[in-house]
């Protein structure tokens, strides 16, 4: 199987630009939102996964083509917010239409927390060098929501996300405040970002997948 970098190089050589992938990811998110509205959850989950694939590859394609710049990153981050809002917003509206207020509330909490995660990082990095901490980054949110759609287990998945995204947002807020008070120096009591290669990350991700697939309320 080709690595992400190999695939990105192939796409770049085929004339696929990073911006094309970024916009494709947005349109796929909108398509997923429309499918949610019609109750076609499996198709919505598949479209959302494809959107995530575009989001995974656009930066790599930009680097492979030698065209990576701040403008592309700004476009990517902005369109990601539109995509997130469309899918979670569609879930809020559908649940409210069918008077499933519990699911609507959970989807709304997941939406607000998802935006808070992104905002805290963006605002913090105006003052400090980096604020990338916490588990629930966009890739994790997107894949987990896709699992809920694909396996028709939205209530459990949204419940997990509704709590998890708030926790990550507050982790980032606390971490950023510690850094700001330390003049940008990482304090001794601030936990470093371990990334997606740590054993703890694998344990968390595996546990959450099991919950999404097998735990139902």
Q: Please determine, for residue 1, whether its predicted confidence score (pLDDT) is greater than 50.
A: no
Degrees, nearest 5: CA angle 187-190-194: 125
* Average of per-residue pLDDT across 93-103: 97
Range scoring the smallest mean pLDDT among 79-88, 107-116, 145-154, 197-206: 197-206
Residue that is last in its domain, among 99, 126, 144: 99
Question: What is the mean predicted confidence (pLDDT) over 25-31?
Answer: 97
For residue 191, the model assigns a pLDDT of 60
Please list, residue by residue across 11-48, b when 16 or more beta carbons sit within 10 angstroms of its beta carbon and e when fewer do: bbeeebbbbebbbbbbebbbbbbbbbeeeebebbbbbb
Active site residue 80: yes
Are 74 and 118 within one domain? no
Among 36-50, 117-131, 133-147, whose mean pLDDT is lowest? 117-131
Q: Are residues 79 and 155 in the same domain?
A: no
Residue whose pair of structure tokens reads 């085929």 in the numeric block: 14
Tell me the average pLDDT across 175-183: 83
- Over range 67-77, report the average pLDDT: 89
Indicate whether 59 and 121 sit together in one domain: no
Q: Are residues 9 and 29 in the same domain?
A: yes
* End-to-end Cα, the chain, rounded Å: 38
Radius of gyration of the chain (CA): 18
The more confidently predicted of residues 100 and 8 is: 100
How high is the mean pLDDT of the chain? Answer: 91
Catalytic residue among 80, 84, 100, 188: 80
Contact 76, 58 (CB under 8 A): yes
pLDDT at 37 over 90: yes
C-alpha distances in Å from residue 160, one per residue of 58, 67, 134, 155: 28, 38, 15, 9
Domain count of the fold of the chain: 2
Res 178: pLDDT: 86
Question: Are 72 and 130 within one domain?
Answer: no
- Per-residue confidence at 117, pLDDT binned at 50, 70, 90? very high
Which residues constitute the domain of residue 118? 101-217
Separation CA 70–CA 81 (nearest Å): 17
Same domain for 82 and 111, yes or no, is: no
Lowest mean pLDDT among 62-76, 149-163, 164-178, 183-197: 183-197
Nearest to 23 by CA among 65, 55, 71: 55
Which of these three, 53, 79, 99, is where a domain ends? 99
């Amino acid at each position: 199987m080709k690595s992400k970098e190999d695939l990105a190089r192939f796409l770049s050589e085929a004339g696929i630009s990073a911006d094309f992938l970024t916009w494709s990811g947005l349109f796929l998110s909108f398509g997923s939102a429309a499918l949610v509205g019609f109750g076609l959850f499996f198709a919505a989950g598949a479209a959302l996964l494809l959107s995530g694939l575009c989001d995974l590859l656009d930066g790599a394609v930009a680097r492979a083509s030698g065209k990576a710049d701040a403008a592309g990153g700004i476009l990517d981050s902005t369109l990601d917010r539109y995509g997130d809002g469309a899918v979670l917003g569609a879930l809020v509206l559908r649940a409210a239409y069918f008077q499933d207020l519990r699911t609507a509330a959970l989807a709304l909490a997941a939406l607000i927390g998802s935006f808070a995660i992104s905002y805290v990082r963006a605002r913090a990095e105006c003052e400090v060098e980096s604020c990338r901490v916490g588990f629930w980054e966009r890739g994790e949110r997107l894949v987990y929501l896709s699992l809920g759609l694909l396996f028709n287990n939205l209530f459990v998945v949204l419940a997990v996300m509704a709590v998890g995204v708030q926790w990550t947002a507050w982790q980032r807020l606390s971490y950023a405040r510690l850094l700001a008070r330390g003049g940008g120096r990482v304090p001794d009591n601030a936990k470093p970002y371990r990334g997606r290669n740590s054993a703890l990350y694998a344990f968390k991700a595996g546990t959450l997948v099991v919950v999404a697939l097998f735990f139902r309320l």
